[in-house]
């Protein structure tokens, strides 16, 4: 339900001098994320708008906003960098957009851990910890824009997951501090396994204000492009290298058909070769080159981050994960969309070759090497030529029935219909405590129905 002008004015009166904007252009841009990767979500979400953007600068201001919103029963959509892909930041019922990016203090850096405020951009935290010889254990390819709590609440894994696992693995985040959405808001601290109550909850059960994150010793990773004849050879190279513990932070495998989208890699990634983009430890470069050689490949690029920047080339982390899809969408908007698929174990490149033969020009393949609960897990983020919603769901069904592949559906807005598959009752129980009136990011979890809201 959209709030009346009077309710909004009453809310504003309660929050005093906390920055608050109702300019229509600002509302439009702050009511969007990257849901437009999906034509299905675009149709569902275009035109959904928040009514006020508030930007707290301290946790005390978050508490003031939460209390005022609860008093007036105003929906609240928390927004970090707004880089989510599933409309996680789109307000379905108007109300307040609470932008966290001014909560950006890094408070404590110790060996292996950083504690910071929720709205810190991940890259800023990385710069802050660099002086101690450390780096983030893992980050999304959007680290320049993404915030720490946005990653906790909306992300899954990324660059570094190859070594340090996915977000759900349990040790990347061990502490979260949040504010409840009640007339008298409370501050709750979650530690250890309890953080799962809010992890990947799309900001539906509490406003995170601070958190910790795992650090690992900093490495001056070598950004590389290795080229192979045949996508199965490229996959086998990456699978073997990961399985045998090559010291790497990222390994992204893409078909040669992606080459025209990678304009900035012209000369390093020709269309008649399939590529592996990696971040390799300097000490492991000899091993890396020998492995590429043994599979009949060539290394077309190897450079430190500093050299990459000097040559105006993209860093390897912006060549993988969902940046790969972005390259295609930048060059051929409206032509492509994508899927997110996990393969049955043990991973068999022959299955991918079967899929390539089956889908021809309809699907271009891209795979990511990761580790989930300690075990190697290989995901695909294939580009799919957009025709219709029915066709997308036919493909998802075929990949399940014929290939045993599970899809984390990126064309849906609820937590359950996307990656999680089922209602997480622990998160819903926590929502009763942290958001008893059901005001946070309405419509994003199937586990909450309006009758559950406290009057
Ligand atoms: P937002 O989009 O602002 O928010 C995400 C969700 O978190 C929303 O539901 C929001 O309400 C909630 N939220 C934000 N802050 C808070 C808070 N303080 N308290 C409570 N809830 C909060 N994801 C990956 O996991 N790995 C990748 O490698 C990756 N690559 C990407 C590449 C591209 C090009 C794009 C467009 C997206 C990619 N993503 C990836 C998705 C997204 O960038 C990440 O999940 C990112 O970490 C989200 O951070 P954000 O600050 O932008 O979050």
The pocket around ligand 1, CB under 6 angstroms, is made up of 33-34, 77-85, 88-89, 100, 118, 140-142, 146-147, 149-151, 153-158, 202-203, 207-208, 321-323, 326, 441
Domain boundary among 368, 385, 407: 407
Q: 138-147, 167-176, 190-199, 429-438: which has the minimum mean pLDDT?
A: 167-176
Asked whether residue 447 is assigned to any structural domain, the reply reads: no
What single DSSP character describes residue 205? S
- The reported pTM is 0.96
Q: How many domains does the chain have?
A: 3
Whether residue 13 sits in one domain with residue 64: yes
- Residue 86 Cα to ligand 1 midpoint, Å, equals 9
Whether residue 122 sits in one domain with residue 40: no
Whether residue 89 sits in one domain with residue 43: yes
Whether residue 228 sits in one domain with residue 268: yes
Q: What pLDDT is attached to residue 171?
A: 87
Supply the residue whose CA is at minimum distance from atom 14 of ligand 1.
150
Whether residue 95 sits in one domain with residue 30: yes
Whether residue 92 sits in one domain with residue 58: yes
Residue 67, pLDDT > 90, answer yes
What is the mean predicted confidence (pLDDT) over 22-45?
A: 97
CATH number at 273 reads 3.40.462.40
Asked whether residue 193 is assigned to any structural domain, the reply reads: yes
Domain boundary among 43, 76, 99: 99
Pocket test for ligand 1, best of 92, 105, 150 (most atoms within 8 A of CB): 150
Q: In what order do the strands lie in the sheet with 363-364?
A: 336-338, 383-385, 363-364
Asked whether residue 268 is assigned to any structural domain, the reply reads: yes
- Residue 127 Cα to ligand 1 midpoint, Å, equals 19
Whether residue 130 sits in one domain with residue 246: no
Supply the residue whose CA is at minimum distance from atom 40 of ligand 1.
140
Give CA separation, 346 vs 204, 282, 350, 416, in Å.
36, 30, 11, 26
Hey, CA dihedral for 442, 447, 451, 452, is it positive or negative?
negative
Q: What is the pLDDT of residues 249-280, one digit of tens each?
A: 999 999 999 999 999 999 999 999 999 999 99
Whether residue 236 sits in one domain with residue 137: no
Q: What is the pLDDT of residues 296-353, one digit of tens each?
A: 999 999 999 999 999 999 999 999 999 999 999 999 999 999 999 999 999 999 999 9
Supply the residue whose CA is at minimum distance from atom 38 of ligand 1.
322
- Residue 150 Cα to ligand 1 midpoint, Å, equals 4
Whether residue 183 sits in one domain with residue 80: no
Whether residue 277 sits in one domain with residue 182: no
CATH number at 18 reads 3.30.43.10
CA 208 to ligand 1: nearest atom: 19
Domain boundary among 201, 218, 235: 218
DSSP string for residues in 237-284: HHHHHHHTT--EEEEEEE-GGGGGG-GGGTTTS-TTSEEEEEEE-GGG
CA 441 to chain centre: 17
Asked whether residue 39 is assigned to any structural domain, the reply reads: yes
Query: Residue 1's pLDDT band (boundaries 50, 70, 90)?
Result: low
Residue 403 belongs to domain spanning: 222-303+341-407
Query: Residue 419's pLDDT band (boundaries 50, 70, 90)?
Result: confident
Strands 187-191 and 207-217: unpaired
Whether residue 229 sits in one domain with residue 214: no
CA 262 to chain centre: 21
End-to-end Cα, the chain, rounded Å: 15
Q: What is the pLDDT of residues 102-148, one digit of tens each?
A: 999 999 999 999 999 999 999 999 999 999 999 999 999 999 999 99
Pocket test for ligand 1, best of 58, 78, 83, 180 (most atoms within 8 A of CB): 83
Q: What is the pLDDT of residues 352-406, one digit of tens each?
A: 999 999 999 999 999 999 988 888 889 999 999 999 999 999 999 999 999 999 9
Residue 287, pLDDT > 80, answer yes
Whether residue 381 sits in one domain with residue 257: yes
Q: What is the pLDDT of residues 202-236, one digit of tens each?
A: 999 999 999 999 999 999 999 999 999 999 999 99
CATH number at 123 reads 3.30.465.10
321: helix, strand or coil: coil
- Residue 316 Cα to ligand 1 midpoint, Å, equals 20
């Amino acid at each position: 339900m959209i709030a009346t002008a009077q309710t909004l004015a009453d809310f504003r009166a309660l929050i005093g001098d906390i920055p608050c904007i109702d300019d229509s252009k600002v509302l439009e841009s702050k009511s969007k994320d990257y849901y437009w990767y999906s034509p299905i979500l675009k149709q569902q979400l275009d035109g959904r708008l928040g009514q006020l953007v508030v930007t707290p600068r301290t946790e005390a201001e978050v508490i003031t906003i939460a209390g005022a919103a609860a008093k007036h029963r105003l929906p609240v959509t928390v927004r970090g960098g707004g880089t989510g892909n599933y409309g996680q930041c789109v307000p379905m019922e108007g109300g307040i957009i609470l932008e966290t990016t001014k909560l950006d203090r890094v408070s404590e850096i110790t060996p292996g851990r950083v504690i910071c405020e929720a709205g810190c951009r991940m890259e800023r935290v990385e710069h802050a910890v660099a002086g101690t010889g450390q780096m983030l254990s893992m980050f999304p390819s959007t680290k320049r824009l993404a915030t720490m709590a946005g990653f906790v609440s909306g992300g899954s894994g990324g660059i570094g997951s190859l070594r340090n696992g996915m977000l759900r693995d349990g040790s990347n985040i061990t502490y979260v501090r949040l504010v409840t959405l009640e007339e008298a808001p409370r501050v709750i601290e979650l530690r250890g396994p309890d953080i799962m109550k809010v992890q990947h909850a799309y900001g539906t059960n509490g406003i995170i204000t601070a958190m910790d994150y795992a650090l690992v010793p900093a490495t001056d990773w070598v950004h590389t492009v290795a080229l192979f004849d045949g996508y199965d050879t490229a996959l086998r190279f990456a699978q073997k290298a990961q399985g045998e513990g090559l010291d790497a932070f990222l390994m992204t495998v893409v078909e040669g058909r992606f080459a025209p989208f990678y304009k900035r890699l012209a000369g390093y990634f020709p269309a008649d070769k399939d590529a592996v983009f990696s971040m390799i430890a300097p000490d492991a470069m000899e091993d890396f080159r020998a492995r590429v050689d043994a599979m009949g490949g060539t290394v077309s690029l190897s450079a430190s981050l500093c050299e990459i920047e000097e040559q105006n080339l993209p860093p390897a982390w912006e060549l993988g994960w969902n940046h790969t899809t972005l390259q295609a969408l930048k060059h051929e908007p409206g032509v492509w969309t994508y899927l997110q698929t996990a393969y049955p174990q043990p991973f068999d490149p022959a299955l991918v070759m079967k899929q390539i033969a089956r889908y021809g020009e309809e699907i271009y393949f891209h795979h990511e090497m990761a580790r989930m609960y300690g075990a190697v897990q290989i995901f695909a983020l294939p580009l799919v030529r957009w025709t219709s919603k029915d066709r997308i769901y036919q493909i998802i069904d075929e990949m399940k029935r014929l290939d045993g592949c599970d899809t984390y559906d990126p064309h849906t807005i609820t937590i359950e219909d996307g990656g999680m598959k089922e209602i997480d009752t622990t998160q819903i129980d926590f929502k009763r405590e942290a958001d008893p009136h059901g005001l946070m990011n309405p419509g994003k979890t199937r586990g909450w129905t309006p009758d559950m809201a406290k009057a």
